[in-house]
Amino acid sequence: MDDPSPDLLTSFEAQRRAFRKQSPDYGKRLQALRTLERALLARKDDLIWAVADDFGRRAPEETLALELFPVINEIRNARRHLGDWMAERDVEVPWQFWPAHARALYQPLGIVGILSAWNYPLFLSIGPLVGALAAGNHVMMKPSELAPRSAELLASILAGLYPPEYVTVAAGDAGLAAEFCRLPFDRILFTGSTRVGKLVMRAASENLTPVTLELGGKSPALIHPTYSLRRAVERIVNGKLYNAGQTCVAPDYVLLAATLKDEFIRLARESVAQLYPRLASNPDYTRILNGQHYRRLMELVEEARCGGAEVIVINPAGEICDENNRVFPPTLLFGAAGNSRALDEEIFGPVLPVVLYDHLDQAIDYINDHPRPLALYYFDDDGARVRDVLARTTTGGVTVNDCVYHLGVPGLPFGGVGPSGMGQYHGFDGFETFSKKKGILLQRRWTPLAYLRPPYGDTARRILRFILGA
């Protein structure tokens, strides 16, 4: 395994020297966040264009709602609460240690490395940056090379805001990303696939660098038979088709009562037609990122079809949707084989397998028999049943009676569990992830613990019997 390139090492060493000289205090952190917010709002049109250019087409409203709004909300939340987050916290001291006092202090880790994904190039780059800056760190960022326009613009914007020894962007391909992970960061946050996450973790282990992995997986949408099927289908279809399904928390498959299959298909057709009357000529319907990703989706559907699945393509205007225009029509799969890619891999596109169940317990068992997902979407108006389902399943996060939106709440931790990731960020959880919570004991001039020193005698033995209660 080769060492990082001289340029990367030079950037890293410059950041480390600057941090050791003086880590950012409250005022500098607050100013860094204010500056970032102003710049993002001032350049929002440029950011919209860059993302749309990377995808070939994406609605400006989608970039504003799903990327810029949550990032700005994250910044404002951090600015509002930063003073409280940084404050020392008194910690209860057991009576055996009296009269000592104890405190906990959040301290910046140092140099943070952020590797972001291509599907939401702004949100997944700037979101972690907000937490890292709020916690007082210096940051090196590696955006995905699969969204080059967004990466180039982000690098330009950040270079105009901060000196490189405070925040810098390393632009390059997967080879550069591999070198990036071998730098001795104080923490790495990676967003991407489980396969690459394993490589990141392996490289980071050489320096014992802690990692936060935001991966993905197959997030289920479970519909209880008593819930309004129309409402559930409308919200699942909407959540699935944001960014043409290229969303880590998109509903990846549906668990549906078998008796509702025909009605589900009818309502799904209606919902797609209402949202996207046309696909190929509709500026609101996002394209698949590139030909390779498009072919992967085609192969996934074809494998399911050959394995006996019923394939329902929803193309309201009957347009040409192919690899040339990279418009992939919403597609339902019923009866896909359990070992098919459609039910094994994260789909990352507008393909939605539907798994039929007879009893709710059967659906819950299906979720628990598979790797723990990044998100769960449960549709039910019965509060007791909701609590029961959430208690019996383990997932990264949950939205009840809708999809995706828990991701945008800055006060909620975001992160996976098991194969869908480790660690979390957003809001205070992001501040904490990028901090070291330091425990501090303040000893007094006199302490009874002074008697618990060699040579041990009767006094020490009496004290030990007393504090042990025996």
The CA dihedral of 189, 192, 193, 196, to the nearest 10 degrees, is: -60
3-class secondary structure, 357: strand
Query: Which residue is catalytic, options 181, 248, 321, 403?
Result: 248
Annotated catalytic residue, options 67, 74, 214, 432: 214
Could you give the 3-state DSSP secondary structure of residue 97?
helix
The amino acid present at 397, given as its one-letter code, is G
C-alpha–C-alpha distance, residues 190 and 360, integer Å: 35
Q: How far apart are CA 326 and CA 286, in angstroms?
A: 9
Helix or strand holding residue 62 (H, E): helix 60-63
Q: Which two tokens stand for residue 251?
A: 């509903």
DSSP, collapsed to helix, strand or coil, labels residue 295 as helix
Whether residue 455 has a cis bond before it, omega within 30° of 0:
yes
> For 395, phi and psi rounded to 5 degrees?
-140, 165
Query: Closest Cα to residue 418, out of 250, 96, 194, 107?
Result: 194
| Buried residues in 383-406 as b, exposed as e (16+ CB within 10 A) | eeebeebeeebebbbbbeebbbeb
How far, in Å, CA of 363 to CA of 366, rounded? 5
Find tokens 């240690």 and name the residue. 97
Identify whether 432 is a catalytic site residue: no
Active site residue 214: yes
As a whole number of angstroms, the longest Cα–Cα distance in the chain is 92
Q: What contacts 22, CB < 8 A, 6 or more positions away?
A: none
Element (DSSP H or E) covering residue 101: strand 101-108
Q: What's the 3-state SS for 333-386?
A: EECCCCCCHHHCCCCCCCEEEEEEECCHHHHHHHHHCCCCCCEEEEECCCHHHH
Asked if residues 251 and 291 have their Cβ atoms less than 8 Å apart, the reply is no
| Beta bridge mates, 288 | none
d(CA 154, CA 328) in angstroms, rounded, equals 28
Q: How many H-runs (helices) and E-runs (strands) does the chain carry?
A: 16, 16
Radius of gyration (C-alpha) of the chain in whole angstroms: 25
Enzyme catalytic residues: 214, 248
